[in-house]
Chains A and B, each alone.
Chain A
Amino acid sequence: MAERLLEIENLRVEYHTDDGVVTAVDNLKLHLNKGQTLGLVGETGAGKTTTALSIMRLVPAPPGRIVSGTVRFRDEDLLKKRIDDIKKIRGNKISMIFQDPMTSLNPVLTIGFQIEEAVMLHQGLDRKAARRRAAEMLRLVGIPAEREGDYPHEFSGGMRQRVGIAMALSCNPELLIADEPTTALDVTIQAQVLELMKRLREQFSTSMLLITHDLGVVAEVCDHVAIMYAGTIVEYADVTTLFTNPRHPYTRGLFGSIPSLDEEVTRLKPITGLMPDPTALPSGCRFHPRCPMAGEICSSRIPQVTELDNDHSVHCMIYEGLVPGYEE
């Protein structure tokens, strides 16, 4: 069995706002094997970013609070570590690429310096060596090293995201968390950046947690997929299994809402209804108000995990035998 790099259990994160307590992540269970890429897929507000920030211990507090759970990284619980020790891991063993390259680089510092400072901090390089390293990283992501003295506003969105990638990989991390790294980019640029990440991930033999709402990206890059809905994982499987044999009604719904080129479909079947209000989540299974298969029990009981074959698990009453399932 593959070596576990990251294992999250029972994670619960809340935001305390004026309008009440929002449970952004609840009872979340997830694992990532060394050398692999896990896709974390879900709609806006499903809690994907919060999950990522929890791993980095970057959930903004207040209003956010990690209530409970464990985040095991190489057999150490990150949530129990002192913040000073976490800072030695951040940017070093685990690093992160953010969603919006237009706002996630500091506008008043040169891009070269923004790479150098992480290298100097974690690898103990002096200024000169750090500069060489930054130049090398820039070249790897396809930016001429001469541009290291330029400021973020002198680059396009796609180029800035390349800087973000160079920054994240500069200390050769074991885990790279990419939070919707291509969402804010033009479609043509998306493919290039994705290709670059794929290549560098292999070159640096880094494991990756890729957060996305784009199943196309998942198919292209990921080994495993976790589907997230309203703060929790509803289905987990390797990418082939998930695409050929999705089990959870929500996962099936997701595939129903994507136009396919192979099939002649007259009509997309979007999932009916909207994401629940995060301050007033439905009782029982969070998906039941939108679920075409829901039975009476779904509104009162929280579904348990059902382990199917081959590292495939699903949280649904159908597979616990409590609700009639699909006819197949």
Chain B
Amino acid sequence: MRTETDDIIQSSDEHPGELPESLAPDEHPTVLPPEFAVNKRRGQWAEVWRRLRKNRTAMFGLAVVLLIVFTAIFADVIAPYSYRTQNLDRIAEAPGRDHLLGTDDLGRDILSRIIFGARVSLQVGFIAVSISIVLGGTLGAIAGYYGGRIDNVIMRIMDVLLAIPSILLAIAIVSAFGGGIVNVMIAVGISYIPVYARIVKASFISIKEQEFIEAARAVGARDGRIIVRHILPNSLAPIIVQGTLGVATAILSAAGLSFIGLGIQPPTPEWGAMLSSGRHLIRSAWHVATFPGLAIMLTIFALNLLGDGLRDALDPRLKQ
């Protein structure tokens, strides 16, 4: 943490006033660092969008993510069957004309369950990340803005949480309070709090020293207002990037919980649980476990493409 602020202080001192001014040391042409000043915000987001649009893989990721969101919203219309209709005469049937991706161990249509499963996974992913961002972000903001003792206490708590591998923490929470979609969201959300607390704290520390914050303080703005109106918008970039990648991680964690029977309970069509139910059929009916896994992979892949693209678009300094 400390080194980051040091860097910022140093970089502003890089060019001490020298005479004659026009004869400064030779430099290579570099990309200008983005100015995250508040009054440039709208133009800056337009610029980010322009850069993102030029990134073909990121746009592909965005398209796939939107497609999955669309599928989730209109699952009732798109899915050929209900996700819960069992047909015990047609158990674990291979992919065919009636069931494009085959049926599962209870004779349910796998394609339909994957389509409805998109709803569950996306909900879990987005809500869990929202929980992490709100809680972690608040803690990080308080620590970064006030510093001192509060900062110390908060960050020590975060150290404790970081010492527990996040999936283990989620497992502990869910095993104690039971599965179900709400508990999974909470468990996964809590387990990633430290990640966002650190990010937000770091960007708060670097931003709060800047001049426009000093200016706001000088005209008598209150702490809450400074945080919400001035600092928060300027620390959005890293949160957005981490959040996008975080949705992917959260979906994976939730699927993992369901896989070991701790997560979302049947008959809710969750991808990890579907995979799990195909586990004992792996020798006789490969498709039961394969397709839900592919669905997870495609979703995570698309979110990662989008997240990487957003990072490049938001921070052109990182791009070669």
Task: State the B residues within 8 Å of A (CB).
Answer: 19-20, 22-29, 31
Excluding A213-B23, A213-B24, A270-B22, 9 further A-B contacts by CB distance (< 8 Å) are A18-B31, A22-B29, A43-B22, A44-B26, A184-B25, A213-B26, A258-B20, A270-B20, A278-B29
What is the CA–CA distance of A259 and B23 in the complex, to the nearest angstrom?
14
Q: A213 touching B25 by the CB < 8 A rule?
A: yes
Q: A99 touching B29 by the CB < 8 A rule?
A: no
What is the CA–CA distance of A213 and B25 in the complex, to the nearest angstrom?
7
Q: A44 touching B25 by the CB < 8 A rule?
A: yes
Minimum CB–CB distance from B168 to chain A (whole Å) comes to 35
Q: A44 touching B20 by the CB < 8 A rule?
A: no
What is the CA–CA distance of A184 and B15 in the complex, to the nearest angstrom?
10
Taking the complex as formed, is A27 at the interface, i.e. its CB lies under 8 A from any CB of chain B?
no
Q: Mark A241-274, 1 if CB is under 8 A from B, else 0.
A: 0000000000000000111000000001011001
Closest to B26 in A: A49
What is the CA–CA distance of A270 and B20 in the complex, to the nearest angstrom?
9
Choice from A17, A99, A271 contacting B26 with Cβ under 8 Å? A99
Q: B25 touching A271 by the CB < 8 A rule?
A: no
Residues of chain A within 8 A (CB-CB) of B26 are 42, 44-46, 48-49, 99, 179-180, 211, 213
- Looking at chain A, what size class is its interface with the partner chain? 20 to 34
Q: Mark A277-316, 1 if CB is under 8 A from B, else 0.
A: 0100000000000000000000000000000000000000
Q: Mark A1-29, 1 if CB is under 8 A from B, else 0.
A: 00000000000000101100010100000
Closest to A17 in B: B29
Task: State the A residues within 8 Å of B (CB).
Answer: 15, 17-18, 22, 24, 42-46, 48-49, 99, 179-180, 183-184, 211, 213-214, 257-259, 268, 270-271, 274-275, 278
With a 10 A CB-CB cut-off, give which of B26, B27, B29 has the most chain A CB atoms: B26
Minimum CB–CB distance from A171 to chain B (whole Å) comes to 25
Minimum CB–CB distance from B31 to chain A (whole Å) comes to 8
What is the CA–CA distance of A295 and B31 in the complex, to the nearest angstrom?
35
Is chain B's interface secondary structure helix, strand, loop, or mixed overall?
loop
Q: A45 touching B29 by the CB < 8 A rule?
A: yes
Minimum CB–CB distance from A271 to chain B (whole Å) comes to 7
Q: Which 8 A-B pairs have the closest CB atoms?
A: A213-B23, A183-B25, A49-B26, A44-B24, A257-B20, A48-B26, A180-B25, A43-B23
Is chain A's interface secondary structure helix, strand, loop, or mixed overall?
loop
Total inter-chain residue pairs, C-beta < 8 Å: 47
Minimum CB–CB distance from B10 to chain A (whole Å) comes to 10
Choice from A22, A24, A99 contacting B25 with Cβ under 8 Å? A99
Residues of chain B within 8 A (CB-CB) of A179 are 26
Closest to A22 in B: B29
What is the CA–CA distance of A214 and B20 in the complex, to the nearest angstrom?
9
What is the CA–CA distance of A257 and B24 in the complex, to the nearest angstrom?
13
Residues of chain B within 8 A (CB-CB) of A275 are 22
Choice from A15, A183, A213 contacting B29 with Cβ under 8 Å? A15
A to B CB contacts below 8 Å, 22 in the list: A15-B29, A24-B29, A44-B25, A44-B27, A45-B26, A45-B27, A45-B29, A48-B26, A49-B26, A49-B28, A99-B25, A180-B25, A184-B25, A211-B26, A213-B25, A257-B23, A259-B19, A268-B20, A270-B20, A271-B22, A274-B22, A278-B29
Minimum CB–CB distance from A299 to chain B (whole Å) comes to 22
What is the CA–CA distance of A48 and B27 in the complex, to the nearest angstrom?
9
Choice from B22, B28, B31 contacting A257 with Cβ under 8 Å? B22
What is the CA–CA distance of A29 and B26 in the complex, to the nearest angstrom?
20
Minimum CB–CB distance from A123 to chain B (whole Å) comes to 31
Residues of chain A within 8 A (CB-CB) of B25 are 44, 99, 180, 183-184, 213
What is the CA–CA distance of A275 and B29 in the complex, to the nearest angstrom?
13
Residues of chain A within 8 A (CB-CB) of B31 are 18
What is the CA–CA distance of A184 and B25 in the complex, to the nearest angstrom?
8
What is the CA–CA distance of A278 and B31 in the complex, to the nearest angstrom?
13
Minimum CB–CB distance from A218 to chain B (whole Å) comes to 12
Q: A214 touching B23 by the CB < 8 A rule?
A: yes
Residues of chain A within 8 A (CB-CB) of B19 are 259
Residues of chain B within 8 A (CB-CB) of A42 are 26
What is the CA–CA distance of A278 and B24 in the complex, to the nearest angstrom?
16
What is the CA–CA distance of A211 and B28 in the complex, to the nearest angstrom?
15
What is the CA–CA distance of A214 and B26 in the complex, to the nearest angstrom?
12
What is the CA–CA distance of A274 and B22 in the complex, to the nearest angstrom?
8
Residues of chain A within 8 A (CB-CB) of B20 are 257-258, 268, 270
